[in-house]
Structure 1
């Protein structure tokens, strides 16, 4: 059996208009041709073919070209075109090889004989160095015979032949690790192919005849991760200029998500499509997280298998840790998958996001849980999550992060959740909005006593005690703090409430002139915080005790408290507090005459 050659498959494609010459990649490719096999592996739309066309026009040695298609999975057809691609550049080559192919008939192909004949044919008729490009190799990579052919050819052909394979997926050649060990293989991945900001500027200038600022180029590089097709097809990559390209693309029936659907997602098995869609909602993921949130994997597969297949096929996925166990999708591809998942199975997507929020919350991954809440888009669930997260975030000193999230939440949702309201009140106090905080707490406490939640009532009372103290209402502050302490003692499991209450009692008593009682309550507060290993709040109370000692004229005791606070802040690495404390110690030195 023989095949009629379609010459467009074996001639070098024309250099496209507006091609951006990328010398850094040409230099890299040139270096790759010191090796037997050069691999260019990147997902769809990264400019692999365009780069190789540009490369072929720049180098001095001949470049043979074979544009592969799904029909080339037939081994005889593949070998026929393989020979034809070399013959296109070297007309004296191919006589023995083509003669062998034409005489094969319907008998099984003797690959060893074919390889031997082909390699000898090359040795006898081609003496100069040349490159042979196999473009779109992913279309035939699943064929064992073709992989075996390439595997043997690379290792046995003379050193003047340099095979360049462009593929969306990683190769599955059996001897690839061995060839890497022998320094016969090197390659480029999507990380090298990604457009740099200066290349985006050049592209913009060539295609749109306009200048782009370095800042806009940096922003586009971050958004698209240098993925050139994403840059060209996205209508919103810049405030102006590129939007025209996006409009033209839509007018031609081209859309970024349509491209990703037809070129990537729809090419996968139903099983893999389902995994890609659902795993996209996880953000960064590994096998244990998939097990926890997605449940059991498909029959005869593990989550490790499916993640490995994603990586092997180069499906816009990349490792995000040194061990390679955690992965994520390219930003634009991840956005596409999430939108597709929520469009095709909205209830399933909602349930998975809710499960994900619970999983992240259990692990204390607050930022990831909040991101899942944002993807879900239901404020009630976001408020419920923030109520759970607010206390751990506050105790770990992350009030700014909590405040930024609460600022995005409807105030009614905060006011209806006492624990969340207590933390929000603390944030208002730190912002200096004490009067507003007091009004909010007064309204909340009016109905709180009837709702039968004593611990939350205590938290609100402690916050109001702080407001009263800051506003100079020391007796009111003391009364609230004493009521909160009474609740904390009754609810023995809430020691933090007791610690906060003791501190407020002490601070208000100090303002009312009872320094001895103030010291007793502050030391009780410090003791609880230290027992709970809450170093941050323990350090704050140490500083309160130091100030109290100075005001009482006990400078030696003040220094001891400040030194204990210094050790705690130093252990926590809080430079801001250390600077303030050094200032306090300087004042103390001045008061004691230690200049």
Structure 2
């Protein structure tokens, strides 16, 4: 089995729910149908609470649930399935051992053989279980969609998949719907009602608004959860309600820009410093945050942000790892780029060094490339490139090499060789021959 320290274990954890979260009984009841369908597909724009809803449902222990939080780095067929199989391993240790071995065999047989082996192993499970793929919209690679489609077509009867996405998907959803095997939820299902809005403001956010005000806010936001949270944070900081309702109009993007800027500007200098210095991260932990901020209060700040409902989501019950909600994280990164463009590169370099020291090499390379620290990236790829090739993570390897300036790759015979073999593996034979010749010249 692939060693888990080559993967980010936090991506396999079911996100924790906050205390006093609004219990959405109607939606939770709808999700009871998950065990009656092959696939549940939840598709809404950002900020509708898909992750919160699913984590709340998963933690009710209706059945074993495996979870993968996807990101753009998972657009590699081998890496994607490494995470998926290791997620299943958290429920049933050993269930994917042989499949992982086949997955990481150089020049292994067709990928259909990998899926077939996994399905046969999963057939031995005699209880209902669920696999959640969160943020599936980041997956843009056709072979991954094809492989998931293959799994959906031949899935064991006790297996169920739940997919959360901002966009629709090329998966065979119409065919599954026609067979009665699909449960689909969209934004109209996830909107907060007036009653839920009132409960959210008065219980979750500890405010005291009337039903009339809740009705007006719900109408203005159209029940958009991210907008409601931003509105509540604004009111918590003393904004006059009548004035707020006057200016609180327009579409979701206007609401987001206006309120996020307002919420950010009302934070202390210390909080703003922390938010901006950690804006480049997909996962936040105390030691990593301390490296980026240059301060030693990472855990205190993370807990402070969670207590203040500032769009931060804990990965685990012990509160060791967190992430920003995608909307808030996007805002912070854009703010950082606008205010301190040179700091962006510095922070990526710091993150790369931390990830290398802690043996998360894919993240170390990604941050070095984001920092345009190409010499460091070359050194890291020389160190781990062969391992990624042997593991079959060719897409990741080629993405790194394609990001590097071509003249740097040409000067490195090892990188030329890796690029040549990677291109050959993906069927780009004429270009592969060119890079293999470069390798011989070196």
- Shorter-normalised TM-score: what interval? 0.5 to 0.7
8 Å Cα contact 2:35-2:128 kept in structure 1: no
* Shift in Å, 1:259: 4.4
* Shift in Å, 1:230: 1.1
Question: For residue 149 of structure 1, what is the aligned residue in structure 2?
Answer: 147
Question: For residue 15 of structure 2, what is the aligned residue in structure 1?
Answer: 13
Change (3 A) 1:226 1:210: same
Question: For residue 34 of structure 1, what is the aligned residue in structure 2?
Answer: 36
Q: Unpaired runs of 5+ in structure 2?
A: 245-258, 276-309, 312-325, 335-442
Greater fraction of residues in helix: 1
Question: For residue 199 of structure 2, what is the aligned residue in structure 1?
Answer: 202
* TM-score, L = length of structure 2: 0.54
8 Å Cα contact 1:32-1:187 kept in structure 2: no
* TM-superposition CA deviations, 1:473-530 (whole Å, max 9, x none): xxxxxxxxxxxxxxxxxxxxxxxxxxxxxxxxxxxxxxxxxxxxxxxxxxxxxxxxxx
* Shift in Å, 1:231: 1.4
Question: For residue 139 of structure 1, what is the aligned residue in structure 2?
Answer: 138
Change (3 A) 1:219 1:181: same
Which whole-Å CA distance do the structure 2 matches of 1:242 and 1:47 have between them? 27
**Which gives a bigger RCO, structure 1 or 2 (Cα 8 Å, sep 6+)?**
2
Q: Secondary structure at the match of 1:100?
A: helix
* TM-score, L = length of structure 1: 0.40
Which whole-Å CA distance do the structure 2 matches of 1:97 and 1:260 have between them? 38
8 Å Cα contact 1:208-1:241 kept in structure 2: no
**1:384-423, aligned counterparts within 5 Å?**
none
Change (3 A) 1:241 1:150: farther
* Shift in Å, 1:210: 3.3
Which whole-Å CA distance do the structure 1 matches of 2:151 and 2:243 have between them? 45
Q: Secondary structure at the match of 2:184?
A: strand
Aligned residues: 259
* Shift in Å, 1:127: 1.4
Which whole-Å CA distance do the structure 1 matches of 2:198 and 2:42 have between them? 24
**1:444-463, aligned counterparts within 5 Å?**
none
Q: Which contiguous aligned blocks of 4+ residues in structure 1 show a shift greater than 6 angstroms?
A: none
Equivalent in 167, 184, 188 of residue 187 of structure 1: 184
Change (3 A) 1:241 1:90: farther
Which one has the largest radius of gyration? 1
8 Å Cα contact 2:12-2:67 kept in structure 1: yes
**1:309-324, aligned counterparts within 5 Å?**
none
8 Å Cα contact 2:85-2:100 kept in structure 1: yes
8 Å Cα contact 1:179-1:185 kept in structure 2: yes
Change (3 A) 1:241 1:114: farther
**1:323-342, aligned counterparts within 5 Å?**
none
**1:99-498, aligned counterparts within 5 Å?**
99-102=101-104, 104-105=105-106, 107=107, 110-124=110-124, 126-140=125-139, 142-173=140-171, 175-234=172-231, 235=234, 239-240=240-241, 248-252=263-267, 259=327, 262=330
Which whole-Å CA distance do the structure 2 matches of 1:205 and 1:7 have between them? 35
8 Å Cα contact 2:47-2:327 kept in structure 1: no
8 Å Cα contact 2:43-2:165 kept in structure 1: yes
Which whole-Å CA distance do the structure 1 matches of 2:134 and 2:170 have between them? 16
Which whole-Å CA distance do the structure 2 matches of 1:241 and 1:114 have between them? 60
Change (3 A) 1:138 1:145: same
Which whole-Å CA distance do the structure 2 matches of 1:155 and 1:242 have between them? 54
Q: Secondary structure at the match of 1:60?
A: coil
* TM-superposition CA deviations, 1:249-292 (whole Å, max 9, x none): 43346999x948937xx9xxxxxxxxxxxxxxxxxxxxxxxxxx
* TM-superposition CA deviations, 1:136-174 (whole Å, max 9, x none): 00011x21111111111112011211100000001111x
**1:533-572, aligned counterparts within 5 Å?**
none
* Shift in Å, 1:240: 4.1
Which whole-Å CA distance do the structure 2 matches of 1:242 and 1:54 have between them? 35
* TM-superposition CA deviations, 1:16-66 (whole Å, max 9, x none): 234222111111111233110000111111100010110011242111100
Which whole-Å CA distance do the structure 2 matches of 1:93 and 1:78 have between them? 17
* Shift in Å, 1:74: 0.5
Q: Unpaired runs of 5+ in structure 1?
A: 267-595
